């Protein structure tokens, strides 16, 4: 299709394997919801399988105008739910008045931003199944103690269960990316709040990982000042800490 070249400039690679597309859609396990938002529908390979699933009312959002025109022609049954625009700029509460799930073959250059937006709307987004660059997928699903465990790992695990589902080779995309990809599922957990100042929690996590090679007694020095830091936790580095540990630190600081 003509819009593939334009889409490549936006960091998107079109999935061209129907079996993989089917497997991604079947990875949606969200219960008690009726609506799904697909981000970056492109050529509609996921859209086709979503529409076949009568359990979900599918809405798609696509940035590229030529892709949107194609989707209108290919899926007339959902024309009133094909949105042209940038997912990062839309107000999800204006589109959905209830809880919903998200699915997509995400543009690699904005995949982390998509997850941060999901966190901002955590009370509505109950599940996300998405294709990411393999490196990003490993990072967000990493457990404490792993070198790739970082800021986004902690933020997501605070409110979601994260599962690395399967790896996808480059040859199933047009054009093929230079890296492998992977599909991840995140599912909203039962945590309504972190029992601490959440803004401070995010700040503490970011500050700690910005100097990830240092022990917490040094990386968090700005917060500690005259506090007693005899607790052994302050001898650890941020990648060794769980969400619960960061909550403890936040409550200790606030």
Look at residue 7 in the predicted model and tell me its pLDDT. 46
Mean pLDDT value across residues 111-129? 97
Cα→Cα distances 120→80, 113, 155, 220, Å? 26, 11, 11, 25
Question: Residue 36 forms beta bridges with which residues?
Answer: 58, 101
CATH class for the domain made up of 3-188: alpha beta
Cα(59)–Cα(47) distance, rounded to whole angstroms?
9
Give residue-wise pLDDT tens across range 203-246.
999 999 999 999 999 999 999 988 999 999 999 999 999 999 99
Domain boundaries, the chain: 3-188, 198-253
Look at residue 108 in the predicted model and tell me its pLDDT. 87
Look at residue 12 in the predicted model and tell me its pLDDT. 65
The yes-or-no answer to whether 3-188 and 198-253 have a common fold is no
| Tokens 């290919």 -> residue | 74
Give residue-wise pLDDT tens across range 8-63.
444 567 888 999 999 999 999 988 899 999 999 988 999 999 998 777 899 999 99
What are 24's two structure tokens? Answer: 């991604």
Q: Please tell me the pTM assigned to this model.
A: 0.92
Cα(90)–Cα(26) distance, rounded to whole angstroms?
26
Give residue-wise pLDDT tens across range 153-167.
999 999 999 999 999
Look at residue 81 in the predicted model and tell me its pLDDT. 96
Task: Answer whether CATH 1.10.8.100 is correct for domain 198-253.
Answer: yes
Percentage of the residues of the chain whose pLDDT score is greater than 90: 82
Look at residue 8 in the predicted model and tell me its pLDDT. 46
Mean pLDDT value across residues 88-92? 96
Look at residue 52 in the predicted model and tell me its pLDDT. 86
Task: Report the chain's mean pLDDT, rounded to a whole number.
Answer: 92
Rg, the chain, Cα only: 20
């Amino acid at each position: 299709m003509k819009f593939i070249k334009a889409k490549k400039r936006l960091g998107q690679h079109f999935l061209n394997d129907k079996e993989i597309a089917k497997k991604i859609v079947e990875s949606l396990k969200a219960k008690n919801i009726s609506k799904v938002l697909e981000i970056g529908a492109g050529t509609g390979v996921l859209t086709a399988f979503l529409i076949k699933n009568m359990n979900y009312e599918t809405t798609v959002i696509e940035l590229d105008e030529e892709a949107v025109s194609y989707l209108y022609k290919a899926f007339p049954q959902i024309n009133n739910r094909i949105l042209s625009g940038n997912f990062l700029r839309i107000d999800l509460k204006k589109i959905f008045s209830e809880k919903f799930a998200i699915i997509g073959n995400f543009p690699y250059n904005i995949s982390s931003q998509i997850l941060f937006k999901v966190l901002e709307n955590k009370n509505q987004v109950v599940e996300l199944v998405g294709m990411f660059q393999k490196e990003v997928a490993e990072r967000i699903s990493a457990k404490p103690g792993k070198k790739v465990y970082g800021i986004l790992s902690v933020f997501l695990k605070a409110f979601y269960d994260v599962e690395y589902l399967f790896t996808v080779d480059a040859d199933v995309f047009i054009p093929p990316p230079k890296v492998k990809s992977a599909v991840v599922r995140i599912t909203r957990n039962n945590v309504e709040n972190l029992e601490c100042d959440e803004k401070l929690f995010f700040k503490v996590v970011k500050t700690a990982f910005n100097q990830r090679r240092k022990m917490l007694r040094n990386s968090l020095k700005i917060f500690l000042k005259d506090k007693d830091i005899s607790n052994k936790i302050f001898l650890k580095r941020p990648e060794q800490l769980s969400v619960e540990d960061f909550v403890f630190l936040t409550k200790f600081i606030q």
